[in-house]
Amino acid sequence: MSIELSSHPLVRHYITILRDSETPTEDFRRACTGITTVLMTEAAKQLDVDTVSVQTPLERTEGARITGDVVFVPILRAGLGMLDAAMAVVPGSSVGYIGLERDEATAEASCYYSKMPELGAAQIVYVIDPMLATGGSAIQSIEQIKKEGATRISMVSIIAAPEGIAALQEAHPDVSIMTGVIDRELDENKYIRPGLGDFGDRLFRT
Ligand code: PRP
Ligand code: URA
């Protein structure tokens, strides 16, 4: 499985805004949209295209069209913050939803909701979740997505912990990961350090 770390200067810029505990909600949301646009654009480099013919107002020429259906699966709640920007990068995509929540005491994720479009070999699935901490939420989501038939799956996160990357690689070696940054470690509460705190709480002001 491949892991790709974005080296784009905008990614570093937006992550700094997201990390800053003084960042107001509206700037946090804008930075989330900005960084997702860059990360998804980079992740979409792996999409295949068919050659097509297109008629301009002046003449016929050769163009390209994405092959396969792109499906975004945000992991609720925090993944919702990345959805609008992801859909703007790949218009015409489908969306599946999966809801997982970590138990505050054990940090173990459990699934409370799932609704997917048709999934099979023709679909290219991007699981989107800003935080890859222990990897539990991503691993369970991808298990569910594979059960529904998907074979081509990538994970897009903003911040990943080394522990989460290792766990995801072990559980799903066929899934590639695109992330904005790999942080130092998880703390005793399974929060990413230095991290940015609880992404969902900061995004939704809870
Ligand atoms: C956060 C985050 C991920 C998960 C990552 O969600 O959005 O889904 O934790 O942690 P893991 O890799 O250890 O599973 P949380 O469970 O806090 O729910 P929320 O999005 O509803 O806030
Ligand atoms: N989920 C978050 O929102 N933040 C972390 O640091 C870990 C999991």
- Tell me which residues are annotated as active site: 102, 106, 198, 201
Ligand 1 atom with the shortest distance to the CA of 75: 8
CA of 33 to the centre of ligand 1 (A): 18
Give me ligand 1 centre to Cα 111, in Å.
Answer: 11
Could you report the per-residue pLDDT of 25-62, keeping only the tens digit for each? 999 999 999 999 999 999 999 999 999 999 999 999 99
Q: Which residues line ligand 1 (CB under 6 A)?
A: 75, 77-78, 100-102, 107, 109, 129-138, 164, 190, 198-200
Nearest atom in ligand 2 to the alpha carbon of residue 198 is 3
Structural domains in the chain plus CATH codes: 3-204 (3.40.50.2020)
In contact, 102 and 137? CB cutoff 8 Å: yes
Report, as an integer, the average pLDDT of 2-14. 95
Q: What angle do CA 40, 46, 48 make, to 5 degrees?
A: 120
What is residue 1's predicted lDDT score, i.e. its pLDDT? 63
Question: Is 102's pLDDT higher than 90?
Answer: no
Q: How do residues 115-136 score in pLDDT, each as one tens digit?
A: 999 999 999 999 999 999 999 9
143-182 residue pLDDT tens? 999 999 999 999 999 999 999 999 999 999 999 999 999 9
The answer to whether residue 108 scores a pLDDT higher than 90 is no
Hey, what amino acid is at 18?
A: L
**Alpha carbons 45 and 206: distance in angstroms, whole number:** 35
Residue 104 above 90 pLDDT? Answer: no
Structure confidence by residue, pLDDT tens digits, 183-202: 999 999 999 999 999 999 99
pLDDT of residue 91: 87
* 167 C-alpha to ligand 2 centroid (Å): 16
> Which ligand has its closest atom nearest to the C-alpha of 155?
1
DSSP class of 188: T
Determine the residue type at 140: Q
What is the predicted pLDDT for the residue at 101? 84
Report strand pairing: 185-186 vs 49-55: unpaired
